[in-house]
Amino acid sequence: MIEPELRDLILSEPERFLDDRDVMNALVSANERTMGSNIVDLRGIAMQRLETRLDRLEDTHRSVIAAAYENLAGTNQVHRAILRLLDPATFEDFVTALSGDVARTLRVDVVRLVLETVQEDGGSDPALRRLGDVLQVGPRGMVSSYMTNGRSVASRPVILRAVTPLAATVYGPKSEDVRSEAVMKLDFGKGRLPAMLVFGSEDPHQFKSLHGTDLLAFFAGVFERMMRRWLA
């Protein structure tokens, strides 16, 4: 017999036991054992299936919450990076911030701004050399070729991938350390050649094709509008 105090507690507050999954599993298991192996308890089977579905729903719920927090953190990172780009008063400081504060905020190891030019010696301009490695100049068609990895296919505005054999043309000596990259095509307006902004990471998992590109597309859109004003 059940002890009187425990029996009174169960009868007075049965919902406390119904809400405890371990207690209910133990009661169901005990009930199945008393019925023997020749009897199938459909209620017990239904309960097990409901419990499995509940576990799956809880896992999905946790995954959705984790994804939401990750997306919020990414949004905050992009917003902080854009604010860093709004601070500089000169173009030289703007480019310096791109490879400094912005890179640290976005947690990327290498940043490159690639501009196409029709001049064969465009990279020898002293003004460009003062801006450091972050600003690269290449021949016409370089942006499309790099984004498609030299293939004759249409490219997306933002590409996330592992580095390709063409990485040395953008990163230079640092290409040996870069494992993944985000490549964003830029439009500086009518009459200007294409450009691209490239984020390189030593982490091979930071930029993957399965990741979302909405935040980077937003960042690229803001960046190209800033560049249009500097170029004007």
| pLDDT given for residue 54 in this prediction | 78
The reply to whether 23 falls in a domain is: no
Note whether 174 and 134 are within 8 A (CB).
no
Give me the pLDDT at residue 198, please: 95
The structure's pTM equals 0.68
The CATH number of whichever domain residue 186 belongs to comes to 3.30.450.40
Domain boundaries, position 115: 78-231
User: Token pair for residue 7?
Assistant: 């029996």
Q: Is residue 15 a part of any domain in this protein?
A: no
Q: How far is Cα 175 from Cα 202, in angstroms, rounded to an integer?
A: 9
pLDDT at 130: 65
pLDDT of residue 42: 57
Task: Write out pLDDT tens, residues 5-57.
Answer: 877 777 787 777 777 777 777 777 776 666 655 555 556 666 677 777 877 88
Separation of alpha carbons 92 and 121, rounded Å? 21
47 assigned to some structural domain: no
CA angle in degrees (0–180, nearest 5) for 67-79-160: 60
Regions of the chain with pLDDT less than 70: 1, 31-47, 66-71, 120-131
Task: Give the model's pLDDT for residue 32.
Answer: 63
pLDDT of residue 112: 93
Task: Flag whether 219 is in a domain.
Answer: yes
Is 194 exposed, middle or buried, given 0-12, 13-18 or 19+ CB atoms closer than 10 A?
middle
**One-letter amino acid of 46:** A
Answer whether residue 205 is part of any domain.
yes
Q: How many domains does the chain have?
A: 1
Q: What is the pLDDT of residue 128?
A: 62
